[in-house]
Amino acid sequence: MTAVPRAAFTSVTRRLMGQVKIPLIASNRINDPQVAEDVIARGDADMVSMARPFLADAEFVNKAAAGRADAINTCIACNQACPDHIFSMQVASCLVNPFAGHELDVAIEPAAMPKRVAVVGSGPAGLSAATVLAERGHRVTLFEEANEIGGQFNYAKRIPGKEEFGETLRYFGTRLKELGVELRLGRRTAANELGDFDHVVVATGVVPRTPPIPGIDHPKVIGYVDAITGRKPVGTKVALIGAGGIGFDVAELLTHSDAGGPLATYRKEWGIDVGYTANRGGLAEPEMPASPREVWLLQRKATKLGEGLARTTGWAHRLLLQKRGVHMLGGCQYLKIDDAGLHLRVGDDERVLDVDNVVICAGREPRRELVAGLEAAGKPYTLVGGADVAAELDAKRAIWQAAEFAVEF
Ligand SMILES: Cc1cc2nc3c(=O)[nH]c(=O)nc-3n(C[C@H](O)[C@H](O)[C@H](O)COP(=O)(O)OP(=O)(O)OC[C@H]3O[C@@H](n4cnc5c(N)ncnc54)[C@H](O)[C@@H]3O)c2cc1C
Ligand code: SF4
């Protein structure tokens, strides 16, 4: 899963090297040729094995052999389309490579009539649409108002344990260049600038939803984007409104404390004893670094928090936050926000959380400001990703929906 650092378990084979007469193969979270080389060079194993990285990119070995590691579509360890699919009786595939496992059902064929296509928005949906359309021979221009591609993946990659999401953006950056997609960064595109194109793909993503709570304009209140990017400082006592995937990620970020780098921190928090000093299982008592903040993670639904998180990884996110002392409250009615903090009712109990900040992680709405202008101009367009449906959005749906459209267009 994402939280496991690269090559985190090669200590298992290292311990046996030289003691047995068979070659030892290290596995788990080895997703990059250099990481594999380092494992062998350190003498941690005789060989490495990979599984998920080949779902993400079946050409992994050829690209590595050709010295083209920059062109590899890297497995980001999300589990969202491999183990999560297997445990729900679906075909194993890959979030970053929607064609994996469907090679016999889907063919990327040259377009019968190549067209000039504008893709507006370079989040996962826009990147997926732009690259597949260009692979098929369409002439694609990709517009992005930010100065870099990636949309919300630029926020996701800042969450401790989700740094790999940056690799997807590196891959797509390479692919856009290889395919000759014209990239226009740094300016919001309006519908009246798209007259030269035959078709517009609206991949403009989402805007965070602002819940109608009295006092929502109070200076204590900040949005999740400002909290993640650090554009606004976050105090030491924080309430998070909304306990979906983003609420959990923000809680992870705000309670994270580095204990000597990602690997050392991971081993301490999960009690992994690489020296096998405590017992034969290699487990020790977890040592939780002190959280820099006291955090309340809140939701309106009365169900268990994190119930909608992914099957194979949700438990780990929940457990880690519990171990860090995050207060998790369901069934919350938000009454108001003022200088005293966040006033809420839980069941019959009214209380005030005396917090420095309230971070809003309460869902998103489709961002569709281009649509009226496109319709007025009679320009054909297709909505993909969050711009199409924001509810329950994840990158798997965004990438896959855009790829499906591009294969058929
Ligand atoms: C902290 C965090 C963690 C996440 N973790 C995960 C995860 O683990 N797994 C997962 O599946 N998903 C995760 N997600 C969700 C995932 O990032 C989104 O589902 C995905 O980014 C949606 O893709 P999109 O392309 O539809 O929209 P976006 O990523 O929002 O991209 C839209 C882009 O359009 C651009 N744009 C908008 N209007 C214009 C315009 N007029 N002109 C030019 N450009 C424009 C925006 O600047 C933006 O770059 C996470 C999100 C966050 C914030
Ligand atoms: S779905 Fe996620 S974990 Fe599975 S192979 Fe693809 S990127 Fe890796």
Residue 343: pLDDT above 80? Answer: yes
Type of residue numbered 206:
V
Beta bridge partner(s), residue 297: 240, 328
Nearest to 111 by CA among 87, 86, 132, 90: 132
Contact status, residue 41 vs residue 58, Cβ threshold 8 Å: no
Residue 74 to residue 32: CA distance in whole angstroms: 7
Which structure tokens are listed for 373?
Answer: 């202008």
Beta strands 332-338 and 341-346 are antiparallel
pLDDT confidence of residue 281: 83
Query: pLDDT digits over 209-243, tens only?
Result: 999 999 999 999 999 999 999 999 999 999 999 99
Q: Is 239 helix (H, G, I), strand (E, B) or coil?
A: strand
Residue 33: pLDDT above 80? Answer: yes
pLDDT confidence of residue 219: 97
Atom from ligand 2 closest to the CA of residue 93: 1
pLDDT confidence of residue 37: 97
pLDDT confidence of residue 76: 97
> Could you tell me which CATH class the domain 210-256+291-362 is placed in?
alpha beta
pLDDT confidence of residue 282: 86
Residue 176: pLDDT above 90? Answer: yes
pLDDT confidence of residue 3: 83
- Neighbouring C-beta atoms of residue 123, cutoff 10 Å: 28
Contact status, residue 216 vs residue 273, Cβ threshold 8 Å: no
Residue 218 to residue 396: CA distance in whole angstroms: 35
pLDDT confidence of residue 148: 98
With a Cβ cut-off of 6 Å, ligand 1 is lined by 78, 80, 120-126, 143-146, 151-153, 155-156, 159, 188-189, 203-206, 228, 245-246, 249, 367, 370, 385-386, 393-396, 398
Residue 373: pLDDT above 80? Answer: yes
pLDDT confidence of residue 277: 83
Atom from ligand 1 closest to the CA of residue 128: 25
**Mutation to probe ligand 1, out of 143, 152, 359 (largest number of atoms < 8 A from CB):** 152
pLDDT confidence of residue 311: 83
Query: pLDDT digits over 293-327, tens only?
Result: 999 999 999 999 988 888 888 899 999 999 999 99
Residue 67 CA to ligand 1 centre (angstroms): 31
Number of H helices, E strands in the chain: 14, 17
pLDDT confidence of residue 229: 97
pTM as predicted: 0.96
Residue nearest to atom 5 of ligand 2 (CA): 52
The pLDDT > 90 percentage for the chain reads: 92
Task: Evaluate: CB of 85 within 6 angstroms of ligand 2.
Answer: no
pLDDT confidence of residue 171: 98
- When pLDDT is averaged across residues 268-286 and rounded to a whole number, the result is 87
Task: Enumerate the domain spans of the chain.
Answer: 107-208+364-409, 210-256+291-362
pLDDT confidence of residue 71: 98
Strand segments, DSSP code E, in 182-293 are: 182-185, 199-202, 206-208, 221-223, 237-241
Residue nearest to atom 8 of ligand 2 (CA): 75
pLDDT confidence of residue 365: 95
pLDDT confidence of residue 153: 98
Average pLDDT over the chain, rounded to whole?
95
Residue nearest to atom 14 of ligand 1 (CA): 394
Domains 107-208+364-409 and 210-256+291-362 share a fold: no
pLDDT confidence of residue 112: 94
- When pLDDT is averaged across residues 100-114 and rounded to a whole number, the result is 94
Residue 58: pLDDT above 80? Answer: yes
- When pLDDT is averaged across residues 12-35 and rounded to a whole number, the result is 95
Specify the CATH number for 107-208+364-409; select among 3.40.640.10, 3.30.930.10, 3.40.50.720, 3.40.50.10490: 3.40.50.720
Confidence of residue 45 (pLDDT cuts 50, 70, 90): very high
Please classify residue 368 by burial: count the beta carbons closer than 10 Å to its beta carbon, then call 0-12 exposed, 13-18 middle and 19+ buried. Answer: middle
Residue 3 CA to ligand 2 centre (angstroms): 13
Residue 359: pLDDT above 80? Answer: yes
Q: Is 401 helix (H, G, I), strand (E, B) or coil?
A: helix
Confidence of residue 392 (pLDDT cuts 50, 70, 90): confident
- When pLDDT is averaged across residues 391-406 and rounded to a whole number, the result is 95
Residue 2: pLDDT above 80? Answer: no
Residue nearest to atom 1 of ligand 2 (CA): 94
Confidence of residue 141 (pLDDT cuts 50, 70, 90): very high
Confidence of residue 399 (pLDDT cuts 50, 70, 90): very high
Within 196-313, residue ranges assigned H as helices are 224-229, 245-255, 262-270
Nearest ligand for residue 74 CA: 2
pLDDT confidence of residue 275: 85
Nearest ligand for residue 53 CA: 2
